[in-house]
Structure 1
Amino acid sequence: MVKFYKSFYTHQHDFSTFSVAYFLRYPNPYAKHVISVDTLDRYVDEQGRLHTHRLVIKRGKLPKWSQVLLASSGINISESLILETSIIDPKNQIILAETKNIDFTRIMRVVETSTFRGALAADQKTPVVKAFTTVSFLSSFGFGSVKERLESWGQSKMSENLARSQKGMAFVMDRLREQGGKIKAFQHAMQREIEPL
């Protein structure tokens, strides 16, 4: 049975800053589990929308009780491959994004879809970005109760994961704003922030 998690959040930054920060969000102090990010493909379509496919390698983490079952099946998960696809529409101020694991999908397939939309805050003056995220969890590992427990565990961890992701984005956007949007200055500043970690 598929489990779902839904979240709505408002980022207190303008769409332009957010869309640049989206691609620069790794590394940051709240994403220490991210090992590497590589761009596989990027192009602009006839409508002026930027399409990007990236491969993200993250350290994997599953509940301790499941590790015994996986070890008995000869499975050791220390890293996971994530495919990230995004479409940025600057004219309409919308980002459509999807991330999904492309390995260990039998154990747990996690698909996260997000829509980020530029908007105005309640004062109708301050630009913000409204984010709506849906995450699905589907396990095909083992039998009934094992699958159910894995899916429930994934669902229960999502709130914590998204909170960390939101803090990471805010951190990156604040540093980007401090550097006046200058990418090289931002990257040097981020390197100084991350190195001691």
Structure 2
Amino acid sequence: HRYPNTTAKHVISEDLIEVAVDGDQIKTKKLILKQTGTFLKAVPRWMSCLTNVRVVPTIEESIFDRSKRSLVTYTRNITMLSICKIHERCVYKPGFKNGMPETVVERAGFVSTSFGKLNAIIERVLMTNFKKSMRKTVVAYMEKLTKRLLFIMFFLCYAWIIMSNTRALKFGEPALANHRTNEPHLLRQKIGHR
């Protein structure tokens, strides 16, 4: 899950609508409710159809393909379509850089508005906001990946401590004999072997 994260305070909720498995593919559909961006808050009053908007529901469809080792997401607004359409497509796939594995992310955005002569200006502003949000998205992904990596590292260290204690007990050595700790489960082990 991408949400919650510190850079996406505008996301109100994320709900899973549909999940389907089709061969090597897992397909999901989510409803994501977002607060309107700063652009819509700054719209002149004569464009009242936009100034009253507070929440924008979006649909995110994703396809994970195990055989291709790729994840493709499509995100689009589902309201105000007669005024504005915003679509995003992301492709995540494995790659290598300098012999090291990495995840390659390809992003594309599409904006279309219906404001006559103002279309070009409004679309340019929306694309600029889209690019800014992509920078925040990268920060959010790094935040989520770091948390997951730290959890995995903690789990591995904890498992190593447990395995070390098991081996020490097996050979008759007192577990954690010279180790001071404030963690209750380790204190119990230490006290139990005195």
TM-score (norm 1): 0.72
Q: Deviations over 1:83-136 (max 9, x none)?
A: 0001011232111110000011222210101111111222x2x22111111101
Structure 1 residue 171: Cα displacement: 0.2
Quickly say closer, same or farther: Cα 1:36–1:82, change in 2 above 3 A.
same
Structure 1 residue 151: Cα displacement: 0.7
Quickly say closer, same or farther: Cα 1:180–1:167, change in 2 above 3 A.
same
Correspondence for 1:26: 3
Correspondence for 2:112: 138
Work out the CA distance in 2 between the residues paired with 1:64 and 1:34.
16
Listed as ranges, the gaps of 5+ residues in structure 2 are: 155-194
Matched residue type, 2:134: L
Listed as ranges, the gaps of 5+ residues in structure 1 are: 1-23, 183-197
Structure 1 residue 177: Cα displacement: 1.1
Among 34, 47, 63, which residue is 1:70 paired with? Answer: 47
| Residues 43 and 51, structure 2, Cα contact 8 Å, conserved in 1 | no
SS at structure 1 position matched to 2:43 = helix
| Residues 30 and 167, structure 1, Cα contact 8 Å, conserved in 2 | yes
Structure 1 residue 63: Cα displacement: 4.6
Greater helix fraction, Structure 1 or Structure 2:
2
Higher relative contact order (CA 8 A, sep 6+): 1
Among 162, 167, 175, which residue is 2:139 paired with? Answer: 167
Aligned positions of 1:140-159 closer than 5 A = 140=114, 142-145=115-118, 147-159=119-131
Work out the CA distance in 2 between the residues paired with 1:33 and 1:49.
30
SS at structure 2 position matched to 1:154 = helix
* Larger CA Rg, structure 1 vs 2: 2
Quickly say closer, same or farther: Cα 1:121–1:68, change in 2 above 3 A.
same
Work out the CA distance in 2 between the residues paired with 1:121 and 1:59.
37
Aligned positions of 1:86-125 closer than 5 A = 86-122=62-98, 124=99
Identity %: 20
Where has structure 1 moved over 4 Å in runs of 4 or more?
none
Structure 1 residue 69: Cα displacement: 2.6
| Residues 63 and 153, structure 1, Cα contact 8 Å, conserved in 2 | no
Matched residue type, 1:66: V
SS at structure 2 position matched to 1:66 = coil
Matched residue type, 2:116: F
Work out the CA distance in 2 between the residues paired with 1:56 and 1:64.
20
| Residues 25 and 63, structure 2, Cα contact 8 Å, conserved in 1 | yes
Work out the CA distance in 1 between the residues paired with 2:64 and 2:4.
21
Superposed CA RMSD: 1.9
| Residues 41 and 51, structure 2, Cα contact 8 Å, conserved in 1 | no
| Residues 108 and 151, structure 1, Cα contact 8 Å, conserved in 2 | no
Mapped pair 1:40 → 2:13: no
